[in-house]
Structure 1
Amino acid sequence: MPAPVVLTGRRTRLEPLAPHHVEGLARAGGEDRASYAFTPVPHGPEAARDYVERALADQAAGRALPFAVVRADDGRVVGSTRFLELDYWQGPLVWPPVPGVPYGDPRTAVPDAAEIGNTWLAAGAQGAGINTEAKLLLLRHAFETWRVRRVSFRADARNLRSCAAIERLGARCEGVRRAHSRGLDGT
């Protein structure tokens, strides 16, 4: 499992998610909730605490690397994002196998592929370039530090705002996964 890291841009700082972020996440999730039809966003301190505990459990199990999204100019927590679906390809790291080159091992290696997702921002932080910069920081880290082969994004096809944000990054839609997971509206 890759080690947690702080990623810093001009507008945004991504900090490894920790219990001290609960209060800021509760405040961010309590802003106008009209844009949260597709993403689970904690509402209130208890929900924020549960959100952080679940994210950290996923991290401990090697399933995710969660971050608090922090506005760089004032240090305010404005949301969360994460690497998830970390995929460690089995087999030699080079082909044909070379003596001395290890096989991928999720306990010690970095992933070969990852998804960036579970992203949400406070209403007041949306449209300010924070999401784009956060995604670019994560992409740079994945490709330049981990040297992954693939990064994917997933968005509900009805979430036109998220789909447009992903396309602005230069990503391509490879298809629609029907009934992949239940939406917040139960469908």
Structure 2
Amino acid sequence: MPVPVVLSGRSVRLEPLAMRHAEGIAWAGALDRASYAYTAVPHGLDASCDYIARALAEQAAGRALPFAMVDPHTGRVLGSTRFLELDYWRGPVIWPPVTGVPHGDPLTSVPDAAEIGNTWIAGEARGTGVNTEAKYLMLRHAFESWGLRRISMRADARNTRSRVAIERLGASCEGVRRAHSRGLDGVVRDTAFYSILDEEWPAVRSIIELRLPGLRPRTGLPPSGFPGQTLEHGGAGELLPA
């Protein structure tokens, strides 16, 4: 399974999600709840602890690699995102195929395809470039460190904000699957699917990098030192100590 890493940028640092982030996750998830109509975001400390526990269980099972999105200057948690739907294509061809099972040593294996999802950001951090840079860090790690062949993303077809954000990255829309699943509001939803292939990454990277210099400063965030918000330094792609 992929080794947890810290991915650092100018406006956001992605840290492996851990229980120490619970209070920060609770704070970030309490802001602007009305904007989370299509996204599962924990509300309150107990819900945040449960959210993290579930994410860590997925990680332990080799199905996901979750992150806390952290302000690199203050250590405040700004949201969460993760790699999921990890798939492995190396080794002998097996039929019927078994997805999510690496060939060889599972401790050193990296996936060939993955999805970026379960992303949500505190209301005060929206429109500041945090989401763009977080996606950039994850895509760069996926294609340049892991050597992935494909990254996929998806969104509730009604979620215009998320779809526009994905499309602005340069991802290709593969279509909309009708009546795909049940949404958070109980309505059977359509789902829009997107992807970026390894051969498309250089062009996508150029598109994103043209946008990164225009990051705007965030305003309205509380003072540093909010409970549960810690600051740890780490370079892009820095491996966490065992």
Partner of 1:142: 142
**Identity within the alignment, %:** 71
Q: SS in structure 2 opposite 1:62?
A: coil
Asked if the contact 1:88/1:105 (under 8 Å) is kept, the reply is no
What secondary structure is seen at the aligned counterpart in 1 of 2:35? coil
Q: Note the C-alpha offset of 1:91.
A: 3.4
Offset of 1:89 from its aligned partner? Answer: 1.3
Using the alignment, how far apart are the partners of 1:3 and 1:15 within structure 2?
Answer: 12
**SS of equivalent to 1:173:** strand
Q: Find the counterpart in structure 1 of residue 45 from structure 2.
A: 45
Task: Tell me whether 1:68 sits opposite 2:68 in the alignment.
Answer: yes
**Cα distance between partner residues in 2 of 1:106 and 1:43:** 38
Give 1:75 deviation, angstroms: 1.1
Aligned equivalent of 2:91: 91
> What is the letter of the counterpart of residue 77 of structure 1?
V
Amino acid at match of 1:50: D
Give 3-state SS (helix, strand or coil) of 2:137's partner.
helix
Change (3 A) 1:8 1:129: same
How far the C-alpha of 1:90 sits from its partner, in A, is: 4.8
Equivalence for 2:114? 114
CA contact 1:26–1:43 (8 Å) conserved in 2: yes
- Is 2:18 the partner of 1:14? no
Q: Does 1:174 align with 2:174?
A: yes
Deviations 1:124-164 (A, max 9, x none): 01111000000000000000000000001011110000000
Instruction: Return 56-65 or 66-75, whichever deviates more.
Output: 66-75
Tell me, in whole angstroms, the C-alpha distance in 2 between the residues paired with 1:171 and 1:7.
21
Segments ≥4 residues shifted beyond 3 Å: 90-93, 103-106
3-state secondary structure, aligned to 2:163: helix
CA contact (8 A) 1:88 1:106 kept: no
SS at match of 2:23: helix
Instruction: Render the CA deviation track for 1:76-131: whole Å, top value 9, x for unaligned.
Output: 101000000000115359xxxxxxxxx83471310000000100001001111000
In the aligned structure 2, how far is the partner of 1:129 from the partner of 1:186?
31
Q: TM-score, normalised by structure 1?
A: 0.91
Q: Matched residue of 2:5: which SS? A: coil
Measure the CA separation in 1 of the matches of 2:125 and 2:111. 30
Length-normalised TM-score, structure 2: 0.71
- The correspondence of residues 116-135 of structure 1 with structure 2, limited to 5 A, is 116-135=116-135
2:185: which partner in 1?
185
Tell me the amino acid that sits aligned with residue 56 of structure 2: L
Output the CA distance in 2 between the equivalents of 1:135 and 1:3.
Answer: 18
Residue of structure 1 in register with 2:103 after alignment: 104
Task: Name the residue aligned to 1:80.
Answer: 80
Partner Cα distance (1:105, 1:160) in 2: 41
Q: Over residues 5-28 of structure 1, what are the superposed CA-to-partner deviations in whole Å (9 max), with x where a residue is unaligned?
A: 000000000000000000000000
Aligned length: 178
> Which residue in 1 is equivalent to 2:222?
none
Unaligned stretches of 5+ in structure 1? 94-102
Residues 106 and 84 (structure 1), Cα distance of their counterparts in 2 relative to 1, 3 Å cut = farther
Check whether the contact 1:114–1:151 (CA below 8 A) recurs between aligned residues. yes
> RMSD over aligned Cα, in angstroms?
1.5
